[in-house]
Structure 1
Amino acid sequence: MRTPITSLGITFLGTASAKPSSTRNHSSLALRLDGDVWLFDCGEATQHQIMKSTLVKMGKIEKIFITHLHGDHIGGLLCLLASAMNGDGGTIPSVEDPRVGSALIQPLEIYGPLGTRAYVRNGLKLTYTLLEGTYVVHELRFPEDPPGETENSPSPSQNLHPSESPDGRNIPQVDGKWAEIFNDSIISVSAAPIFHSVPCVGYVVHEAPVQGKVDPKLYIPHLKRTGTDMRVMKEIQKGQVVTLADGTVLEGPPREPGRKIVILGDTHDPSPMEELAKEADLIVHEATNAHLPGVDNRVKTEDTYESVEERAKSRGHSTPQMAGRFAKRIGARNLFLNHFSSRYSGGNDGTSRAVMEAIRRLAVAEFGSGDVVCARDLMNVEIPSKRALVKGKKPAVVVETQ
């Protein structure tokens, strides 16, 4: 069972769209829950980026959430599975092979839209890849998806890869979303469709309410007055109600809201996410294209902000202004722009910094009061607890680059 999260953060492993560059890798993001890792998308060479990261460890990956099946978001998945689960080539083994299913107590979980299961299963089989652990694929089904099992989505129990668990679920959409596709007492994940050129999903990670911190000044005088053992403070801190000898009732501090993180895939319109994403502490939103006259020397003379936005939408993508507008609409605290065109370098030279600052300002103009950051590869983000934010001890996020 997971214990309450003390450290919650994000590492951007890849921030490019379509084509990688020397400064940006294909799309992938690691959510860090203390030492554990949940990946969101897994583009080509994600495992190389993990090797460069000081905070993300391959052996700590528990779950992988795929937003859509475009190659720049899933092309590194099979190789990462092989590395994370000590895979190698060879003849497909029998179930008696000691390598099969021996390394992980719990299967590595993969979530994604229709076709994710077939992609993983057939890719591993066709490349003769053996795994020491087990994995399981859960598919998020759109209403328009064909009913039952198809060639693109074989049954979880049909012709399994030797390391595949048969417990994969086909999760139907209910009221336009997939509520709590994962949940435990500490954290949950929900999802909703977002509009792109292919079926695409946005995810919301929501920490459960956490027990508020006891202020001793409110309790100790009562305990001393009644001669109560101070050890009852532990019960009060857990939220329990304590009745003292004189009838005084002491209640533990109220529970405080947990942190909420919204991670979108490629989109020109994430409006179906709006309800789930309300009041997010942090949203990651793509900003593939931007109009940067006077900053980007490759701007076409005939282009305008409106024409660039229409072109981005026609390809299923967003501009910084579109990201800013959505972040404002949901009342987000922080906006991280991601998934940049290859023309926008993630380098640290003056020209690259000027371009990214111009992109950031476009989003700020629409977002208004919140903070906006342009993500770079291997950027680390820490998300303080609500208690720290309310008391003003920390900024909404702490950003570090390696």
Structure 2
Amino acid sequence: MSGTIPSGFTLPVQVVEAAGVTAWLAEDHAVPVISLSFSVPGGASLDPEGREGAAALAASLLTEGAGDLTAPAFQDALRDAAISISFSADRDEFSGNFRCLTDALPEATRLARLALSAPRMEAPDVERVRARAIAGARQALESPRGQAGRAFWAAALPGPFGHPPGGTAETIAALPAEVLRGVPARQFRRGGLCLAASGAITAAQLRDVMTALFADWPAEAPAALPALPPFSARGVQVVGMDSPQSSAVFGQPGLAVDDPDWEAAGVVLRVLAGGGFSSRLMNAVRVERGLAYGINAGPEPVAGRSVIVGSVATENARMAETISVLRGEWARMAAAGPTDAEREEAIAYLTGSQPLSFTSTRQVAGILLALQRNKRPLDWLANRPARLEALSRDRLSEVAARVLRPDDLAVTVAGRPVGL
């Protein structure tokens, strides 16, 4: 089957099975590059209480030496073959990817297998990577944007999903080495694995890679994610911080990723907050009033649902007015939806720009992986232009009224905002 995109762009997708795993493959030998991406449910949400940041720190350590290769030797092997391998832990998933030239596929597979099955996590490497993570966590809180983001998520989703995925400086510093070494066993399960590959690799080659990387993983389903709490943030909260500018993170509950109105909500949000200078928020905040350089918002999936989240920064004296304009535009869109002209522009952009998302093997693999995670059918891309075009203005207005909740729009501001 294939996904067909406007302007003659097509994306043939093969379903490949091996070792109890199913992968989506977009085979393309135009350039000798291969990308592979995978994810399993879990990530930071499975960190033990008080051990926040364990999954993220362990992910960083997987390429710091594995098997018989010390950390310097492992990195030298990657550089010598021009291979990129990385792992990460987000709020609700643990993911990994590698990219290599076709000739380097055997070596990339070997190194990825070592990283997944036999990470060394030696004490000097743990402490070096820990120090880097602590510095990063502290640096993130040096800006109003970092402070606002941390406070927003903590208020919006109390519990595991509201913690910074990478942990805090305090929790990272306190992580015992044995907790880090236990992360792979806690995270890796074939039952929840999503896998995608793109580029100059055949189905037979991909089966070999899948067997090498994942055949030894336990076949059972992954550990159940914690229950996603109701969106709890309300009103405006201010985090005091000395800065000439304030930064705000704002948001409200979003839809489930499998909600029938997901795409229609995407069109509404494109008009309201995601269309650059064509969006209502950008026009009202920057063009008409000069309140801020930029403002945007969009859905962020979390554990099968989503949070509509955005950000804006401006001088302290103008943040109160900026929030007032934001709320006004949010309410106006909820009340009346987009105009006919806005509908046409948004749909034309979303369909016409789609090929730009498929310009590298890494992008293609990432998109195929996201489609799997969100349980989209193989023909989802092929039918997307028709689905979008079928969305009438009246339908979009109904969805705007359903999705946008002006009274539930929560705003967290860090800085010294005047009048808040």
Give TM-score, length-normalised by structure 2. 0.24
**Greater helix fraction, Structure 1 or Structure 2:** 2
Higher relative contact order (CA 8 A, sep 6+): 2
